[in-house]
Amino acid sequence: MSDEEILSSYRSLSRIEDCFKVMKTNFDARPIYVWTEAHIKAHFLVCFISLTIMRLLEHKLNGEISPERIQKALISAQCRSLEKGYWEVFGNEDFLKINEILKKEWTKQYVPLEKLKSYGK
């Protein structure tokens, strides 16, 4: 292999190791308390999908917020029903920053139900 190919392979290895680190620490991928092969595969599928969503969010946020902070922000997200079809959406400062970066313009975090339903799209 050329020097450039070796460096490229090494950088890829570092990214893969980082993914495993995030899965182990943030998503509690280990220890696994399931015994059947189907349950084990399902557990790792959920972890892989979570990691994919996390990486997409990191990319969309231009690396401004770490995976740990993204996870805490998403956990902090809450909403409660108000009158006339509106919901109050709130969370920690990182959650509000994520919404701002993703261009979710919610005036004072009061959101019509239809807009809230389309949040993940």
Residue 68 domain flag: no
Give the amino acid at 64. Answer: E
If one counts every other C-beta atom within 10 angstroms of the C-beta of residue 92, the result is 15
Q: Mean pLDDT in the chain?
A: 79
Assign 110 to helix, strand or coil: strand
82 and 47 part of one domain: no
Is residue 65 situated within a structural domain? no
Query: CA separation (Å) from 54 to 61, 97, 110?
Result: 10, 16, 26
Total domains present in the chain = 2
Distance CA 13, CA 120 (A): 31
Q: Which of 19, 38, 60 is the last residue of a domain?
A: 60
- Name the strand (E) or helix (H) holding 58: helix 37-60
In a domain, 82, yes or no: yes
Q: What is the DSSP letter of 36?
A: S
Identify whether residues 53 and 81 lie together within a single domain: no
Q: Convert the pLDDT of each residue in 106-119 to its tens digit.
A: 666 788 888 777 77
Number of H helices, E strands in the chain: 5, 3
Is residue 48 domain-shared with residue 84, that is, in the same domain?
Answer: no
Three-state secondary-structure class, residue 34? coil
| Residue 19, in any domain of the structure | yes
Query: Is residue 66, in this structure, part of any structural domain at all?
Result: no
Task: Please indicate, yes or no, whether residues 50 and 79 belong to a single structural domain of this protein.
Answer: no
Q: Which pLDDT score is estimated for 27? A: 63
Give me the domain span that covers residue 97.
74-117
Per residue in 58-83, pLDDT tens? Answer: 888 888 888 888 888 888 988 888 88
